[in-house]
Amino acid sequence: MCTSNEVPAFSHLVSGWHSIDWESSHRKVRGLQVRIAKAVNTQQWRKVNSLQRMLVHSFSAKALAVKRVTENRGRKTPGVDGETWDTPDAKWNAVHCLERKGYRPRPLRRVYIPKSNGKSRPLGIPTMLDRAMQALYLLALEPVSETIADRNSYGFRPLRSTADAIEQLFVNLSRVNSAKWVLEGDIKGCFDNINHNWLIENVPLDRGIVRKWLKAGYMESGQLFPTEAGTPQGGIISPVLANIALDGLEKELEALFGKKNTKASYKTKVNYVRYADDFVITGISKELLVNEVKPVVEAFMAERGLTLSAEKTVITHVSEGFDFLGQNVRSYKGKLLIKPAHKNLKSFLAKIRQIVKGNKTVPTWQLIDLLNPVIRGWANYHRHIVAKETFNYVDYRIWKMLWQWCRRRHLNRRKRWIKDKYFKRVGKRNWVFSDHYPSGKLATLLYANDTPIKRHTKIKAEANPYLPEFETYFEQRLEYVWRNSEQGKRKTYTLWNRQQKRCPMCNQLITFETGWNVHHIIERHKGGDHKLENLVLLHPNCHRKLHTNKGMLTAGFINK
């Protein structure tokens, strides 16, 4: 743990973690990020460097970096030093430790997580101090990466999703005169093989810091191993570093084959869509993709220390179909349809089967609670495409699994008795797997077919969250995302809209990234109820701050 005893110049303004003015901190950091994005737009790189140094040395940015790493999902997972910052005092001390001078990152703690193909992926877990330093420098790097990013890159970017990438593919392939051939790109070990020297030379950030992170090494079985290439999977800044390494290919293709909707592009129809390290390039013919496009891609990757997988990089006609991000894109007699991929469906049903078989003796309501989030998440992922038939099939297969689960529990009972015990009529549906919670409330299984199919509205390719001219657009976009998500519906959406989409304590936007807590203005133990008039959405840290200071929100404060 950092043990710096230096008293910073700002110490007379704040005395502890819960006395930090988050509204002011967000405003100051955001102001610098906007200036960085504007400077990148005008190619003023010396100004960019100056503003980045100013940002990473500011108290506000350091506080926000610590706030981020102590509120995300991995906050309780320690690095090699075994430390977690789980108290206000530890967080406050951590803010003072984020200094470039004398900083040396610790090796990553190596763990392995299972992949869908049965193999395992290595994950490097930094210490809390290293995570906070990465979060701090990410505040300075992200405005640059967003401004220089490929227009049709959708992975690991704010308010961009797989649905945007799929929708862009539909735009590229669905018209009568669209390209009919696609190159499915697969980079061999992308995150493990990116050339360190290329990153150090080309990432627009403090080179000394970037070099230290890349060369930190990792600990496994008590032994230190060096890292000679790649970005550590598990670091906060790693996805952005990987994005920067892969950005630029779209511009290179446009320079050679023409920008979309120009006279040159009509001859080749070369269009590019990327999500993280998966990409698809369209073309007017197989020969064009093999002889002209693929060599350009290979040369681009080779410069960064990367190679295409010979087995998985294939060129396909749209009538044969191809899988991308768990969905199958295929032309049926000239009509392009996008459906859930067979491999994705098989994996989902295997997960459902594992849950059902692994919980043979639990109460019915508990099994329903385990299944519903999995079904809801999978159905919501595919709700923008042609998935109704697949949803029906999924519901049938899940019903078969549950029927076997019920029969196994009551081997000597008649089928009618089992049906009456576990399957009730709810609304217009007759065979609804259901049970009552201990509280008496009815728990019902979610049906995938109840998820409405709704076409996704793609984000504007050139939209940049750090440029003022897109401010209104992103606020509208955020509202669109909330309207069409389970988390943003009903009471939550009503509260969020009533608060002008902001936390009333720090006056900053509430997003999926920041998270939120529902706070009772009059607490439950003091007689407060669950009515909307008594509820307010707060950021998690603001919620804890409110309870720590034993404050109270009022209707006047919410509407200030």
Contacts of 341 (CB under 8 A, 6+ apart): 323, 326, 327, 328
Tally of structural domains, the chain = 2
Contact 309, 299 (CB under 8 A): no
Indicate if 472 and 446 belong to the same structural domain.
no
Task: Decide if 389 is inside a domain.
Answer: yes
CB burial string 158-182: b at 16+ within 10 A, e below: ebbbbbbbbbbbbebbeeeebbbbb
Mean pLDDT value across residues 430-452 = 93
How crowded is the C-beta side of 123, counted as CA atoms within 13 Å?
13
Task: Decide if 481 is inside a domain.
Answer: yes
By the 10 Å C-beta count (0-12 exposed, 13-18 middle, 19+ buried), 426 is classed as middle
Indicate if 446 and 473 belong to the same structural domain.
no
Indicate if 477 and 437 belong to the same structural domain.
no
Indicate if 513 and 440 belong to the same structural domain.
no
Place of tokens 């995300």: 72
Place of tokens 């990152």: 105
Task: Decide if 307 is inside a domain.
Answer: no
pLDDT at position 371 over 50: yes
First to last CA, the chain: 41
Indicate if 439 and 373 belong to the same structural domain.
yes
Indicate if 473 and 433 belong to the same structural domain.
no
Task: Decide if 334 is inside a domain.
Answer: no
d(CA 479, CA 2): 41
Question: Kind and range of the H or E element at 191?
Answer: helix 190-193
CA distances from 485 to 326, 439, 454, 489 (A): 20, 28, 11, 6
Lowest mean pLDDT across 186-200, 337-351, 510-524: 510-524
Q: Where are the beta strands (DSSP E) in 78-118?
A: 108-114
Domain boundary among 392, 417, 450: 450
Task: Decide if 23 is inside a domain.
Answer: no
Closest CA to 123 of 233, 231, 224: 233
The size of the chain, in residues, is 560
Task: Decide if 216 is inside a domain.
Answer: no
3-state helix, strand, coil in the chain (%, to 5): 50, 15, 35
Per residue in 454-488, pLDDT (tens digit) is: 999 999 999 999 998 988 888 788 778 777 776 55
Q: Which two tokens stand for residue 225?
A: 């191993």
Contact 26, 34 (CB under 8 A): no
Task: Decide if 129 is inside a domain.
Answer: no
Per residue in 20-60, pLDDT (tens digit) is: 988 889 889 999 999 999 999 999 999 999 999 999 999 99
Per residue in 484-543, pLDDT (tens digit) is: 776 556 778 888 889 988 999 888 888 878 888 888 787 765 666 667 888 898 888 888
Domain boundary among 450, 485, 501: 450
pLDDT number for residue 117: 66
Range of the domain at 361: 349-450
More confident residue, 370 or 1: 370
pLDDT number for residue 112: 85
pLDDT at position 560 over 60: no
Place of tokens 């093999």: 290
Task: Decide if 120 is inside a domain.
Answer: no
pLDDT at position 66 over 90: yes
Indicate if 510 and 445 belong to the same structural domain.
no
pLDDT band at 85 (very low <50, low <70, confident <90, very high): very high
Indicate if 355 and 429 belong to the same structural domain.
yes
Round the average pLDDT of the chain to a whole number and report it: 89
Indicate if 445 and 474 belong to the same structural domain.
no
Domain boundary among 450, 477, 507: 450
Mean pLDDT value across residues 183-197 = 90
